C-alpha cells in the first residue's frame, strides 16, 4: 500500500470515528432530556396525587373516565403509590447522572485546551463541573419547577400522569410492595418502643372512661369543651354579617327605638352605609332614660366598638373581654371588612353548651328528628352542628376548607352547588338539601348512618 493510500484510509477512519462520536453525543443529549422529562413528571405527580382534596376526589368519582379510575385506584394504596414514585424517581435520577457523566467525560477534555495542566487537577475540575451542572438540572427541572406547577394544577397533572404511574406501578410492583412491607415493619417497631403523642381524641376517650360513669352528659361535654377551647378562633363561632342586625347612623331616634324593640338585642352595632363601616356600639340600656324623649340625638350614646381579626383565638378574646369589660366584638377579615360579630355568650357556649334565653327559638337553627336525623339551617356553624350531633369537630377538618357554616361545608364536599333534594355523602353522613333560596342553601337534613367496620 503506497503512503498516499494509507493516509487517505487513516483520514477516512478518523472522520468516521468523529461522526460516530458526534452521533453518540446527540443520542446522549436526547436521552438526558427524555430522562429529565420523566423525572419531572414523576416528581410533580408525587405532589399532585397527595395534594388532592376531598372535593377533588368527589369530582373524580362523579366522572366516568379511564384516567379518573386510574387516579382513584392508585390512591387506594397511598403507601405503595409513594414507594413506586420514589423508586421511579431514583432510577431516573441515576440514569441522568450516568448519561451526563458519559457525555461530559468526552466533552470536557481540558487537557486538549491546556496541555500543561496536571491530570489530577483535570479530574477534579471535571468532577466539580459535572456535580454542579447535574445537580442544577436535576433540582431545577426534576424537582422545583414540576412541584411548583403541581401545587397549582394538581388535578390536571394527576389525570395526565395517571397512565404513566399505573404502568410504572405494574413494573415496580414487587419492589414497591417490598419497600412498603419493610417500612411498615420498621415503623411498627419504632412506635412500640417510643412514646406517642396524645391527641385530643385520646383525651376525650380518657374523659369518657374516667368521669363518664359518674358525671352527667352535660358535665362531660364541659370537660371536652375546655379541652378544645384553646384551638377555636373567632371566625368559627361568630355570627356572620348576614345574621347581624345593626342601626344605620342616619336613622332617626324613632327608627332606632323601633329596631331595638323588634330585635330584642341588648347591643347593636351602628354603621354608616354598610356594615363594613362600623361607627360603634349602641347599648339598649342607654336608651331607657330617653325613651319618652322626642327627636333625641341618640348618636351621643354610641360607644366605641372593639375589633378583632377572624383568626384570633377565643381563649385570648375572653381575656380581652374581661380586661375591657366588654361583651361584644366586631370580627373583621384580612381586608378590614366586617365578617360578623362575636359575643361573650358565644364564647361561653363553647364550654358549657347552648345558653337559651327568652328570645331564642329552639327550632330556629337545629331540630332533632330522631337519633339519626337532624334538620339544620344552612347558616349554622360547623362547631354548633358537631356539638348537637355529638361528633368531634376534627371529623370535618380535612374537607371543610375555609368554610365555617354547614352550607359552606356541604359546598366544599360536593365541589359544586347542589340542587334541591340532592344528597351529598361524606363517610357515614348524608347531607340532603331541603330548601334553597336562589344561590343560598337554607335548610339541610343530616342523616348519620351506622359506621361500617372495615374488613381486611
Let me know if 263 is exposed, middle or buried by CB neighbors in 10 A (0-12, 13-18, 19+).
middle
How do residues 103-161 score in pLDDT, each as one tens digit? Answer: 766 655 544 555 556 666 666 766 777 777 778 878 887 788 888 888 888 888 888 88
Cα 240 versus chain centre, distance = 22
Average predicted confidence (pLDDT) for the chain:
77
Is the model's pLDDT at 177 over the cut of 80? Answer: no
Strands 366-370 and 247-248, sheet pairing? unpaired
Give all domains of the chain, ordered by start, each with its CATH number: 18-191 (no CATH), 229-352 (3.10.580.10), 366-448 (3.30.465.10)
On whether the CB atoms of residues 429 and 423 are closer than 8 A, the answer is no
**Mean pLDDT, to the nearest integer, of 374-378?**
88
Model pLDDT, residue 403:
81
How do residues 270-325 score in pLDDT, each as one tens digit? Answer: 998 888 899 999 998 888 888 887 788 888 889 999 999 988 888 888 888 888 88
Cell of 314: 377565643
pTM: 0.42
Of 407, 408, 278, the closest CA to residue 332 belongs to 278
Of 44, 46, 42, 40, the closest CA to residue 142 belongs to 40
**Which is more confidently placed, 76 or 247?**
247
Model pLDDT, residue 110:
47
Amino acid at each position: 500500500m503506497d503512503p498516499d493510500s494509507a493516509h487517505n484510509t487513516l483520514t477516512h477512519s478518523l472522520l468516521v470515528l468523529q461522526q460516530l462520536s458526534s452521533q453518540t453525543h446527540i443520542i446522549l443529549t436526547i436521552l438526558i432530556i427524555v430522562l429529565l422529562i420523566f423525572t419531572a413528571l414523576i416528581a410533580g405527580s408525587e405532589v399532585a396525587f397527595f395534594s388532592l382534596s376531598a372535593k377533588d376526589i368527589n369530582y373524580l368519582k362523579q366522572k366516568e373516565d379511564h384516567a379518573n379510575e386510574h387516579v382513584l385506584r392508585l390512591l387506594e394504596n397511598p403507601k405503595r403509590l409513594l414507594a413506586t414514585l420514589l423508586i421511579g424517581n431514583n432510577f431516573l435520577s441515576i440514569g441522568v447522572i450516568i448519561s451526563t457523566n458519559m457525555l461530559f467525560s468526552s466533552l470536557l477534555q481540558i487537557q486538549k485546551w491546556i496541555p500543561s495542566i496536571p491530570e489530577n487537577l483535570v479530574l477534579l475540575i471535571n468532577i466539580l463541573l459535572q456535580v454542579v451542572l447535574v445537580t442544577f438540572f436535576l433540582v431545577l427541572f426534576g424537582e422545583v419547577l414540576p412541584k411548583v406547577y403541581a401545587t397549582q394544577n394538581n388535578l390536571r397533572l394527576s389525570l395526565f400522569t395517571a397512565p404513566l404511574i399505573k404502568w410504572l406501578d405494574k413494573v415496580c410492583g414487587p419492589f414497591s410492595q417490598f419497600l412498603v412491607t419493610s417500612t411498615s415493619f420498621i415503623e411498627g417497631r419504632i412506635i412500640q418502643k417510643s412514646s406517642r403523642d396524645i391527641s385530643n381524641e385520646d383525651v376525650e376517650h380518657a374523659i369518657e372512661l374516667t368521669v363518664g360513669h359518674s358525671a352527667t352528659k352535660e358535665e362531660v361535654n364541659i370537660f371536652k369543651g375546655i379541652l378544645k377551647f384553646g384551638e377555636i378562633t373567632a371566625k368559627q363561632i361568630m355570627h356572620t354579617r348576614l345574621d347581624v342586625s345593626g342601626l344605620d347612623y342616619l336613622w332617626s331616634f324613632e327608627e332606632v327605638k323601633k329596631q331595638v324593640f323588634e330585635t330584642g338585642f341588648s347591643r347593636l352595632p351602628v354603621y354608616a352605609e354598610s356594615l363594613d363601616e362600623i361607627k360603634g356600639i349602641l347599648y339598649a340600656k342607654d336608651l331607657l332614660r330617653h325613651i319618652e324623649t322626642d327627636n333625641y340625638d341618640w348618636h351621643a350614646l354610641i360607644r366605641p366598638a372593639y375589633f378583632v381579626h377572624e383568626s384570633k383565638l377565643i381563649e385570648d378574646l375572653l381575656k380581652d373581654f374581661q380586661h375591657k369589660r366588654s361583651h361584644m366584638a366586631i370580627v373583621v377579615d384580612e381586608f378590614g371588612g366586617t365578617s360578623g360579630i362575636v359575643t361573650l355568650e358565644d364564647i361561653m357556649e363553647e364550654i358549657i353548651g347552648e345558653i337559651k334565653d327568652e328570645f331564642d327559638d329552639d327550632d330556629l337553627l337545629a331540630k332533632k328528628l330522631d337519633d339519626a336525623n337532624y334538620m339544620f339551617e344552612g347558616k349554622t356553624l360547623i362547631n354548633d352542628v358537631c356539638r348537637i350531633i355529638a361528633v368531634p369537630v376534627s371529623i370535618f377538618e380535612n374537607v371543610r376548607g375555609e368554610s365555617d357554616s354547614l352550607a359552606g361545608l356541604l359546598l366544599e364536599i360536593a365541589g359544586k352547588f347542589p340542587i334541591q333534594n340532592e344528597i351529598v355523602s361524606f363517610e357515614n353522613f348524608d347531607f340532603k338539601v331541603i330548601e334553597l333560596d336562589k344561590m343560598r342553601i337554607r335548610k339541610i337534613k343530616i342523616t348519620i348512618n351506622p359506621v361500617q367496620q372495615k374488613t381486611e
